[in-house]
Amino acid sequence: MDAGLDAFLYQADLLKANILSFISASAYITPRTCVVDSFLILHSLVDNLEDLLNQEDDPIADVKGQLNFLHHELLLSHSSIHEMRSPQPSEIGEAKEALMCIGGIAHQAQYLITTFLVKDIPVWYVINRLTDLNNRIEILRKELQLITKK
């Protein structure tokens, strides 16, 4: 009976060692949550903006210029994040804050656009907020590009 228990404990230790080895190795080959979340949020917003910008009835005529700029910046940010899908560990640390901020800006932009479409906020407010979000996303995108070019 002791031999069976010893064999079981030995196998459990091997399994534990393999799991720990896999976890430590996979930390460098899988993207962090903030990268994945930001990528998905951006992808969703880019798709929504494309649909909105291509609508015939043009419910966004008053803010179309800002939305075109936002769409352009988000596409560029999207490609920068896509380049980081298999990042070096040092890139994750450097880019984590920028990635989380881009995801937050994308959330804010989505909410702002939705609120504007249902006529809950005035045009002047949307224009001011979109201008601010565009400036912030442009700065963060340039920061990400610098990190990925290292």
Alpha-carbon distance of 40 to 81, in angstroms, equals 10
Kindly report whether the global pTM for this prediction surpasses the value 0.75.
no
Q: 123 and 106 in contact (C-beta within 8 Å)?
A: no
pLDDT for 30: 43
pLDDT of residue 89: 52
AA identity, residue 93: G
Q: What is the pLDDT of residue 29?
A: 47
Between CA 66 and CA 51 the distance in angstroms is 15
Q: Torsion angle of alpha carbons 67, 128, 137, 111, nearest 10°? A: -70
pLDDT at 55: 80
pLDDT for the residue 53: 82
Picking from 126, 72, 137, the residue whose alpha carbon sits closest to that of residue 101 is: 137
Per-residue model confidence as pLDDT tens digits over 14-56: 877 777 776 665 544 445 555 566 667 777 888 888 888 888 7
Question: What is the mean pLDDT of the segment spanning 104-118?
Answer: 88
pLDDT at 138 over 70: yes
Closest CA to 49 of 69, 29, 24: 69
Residue 1 has pLDDT above 60, yes or no: no
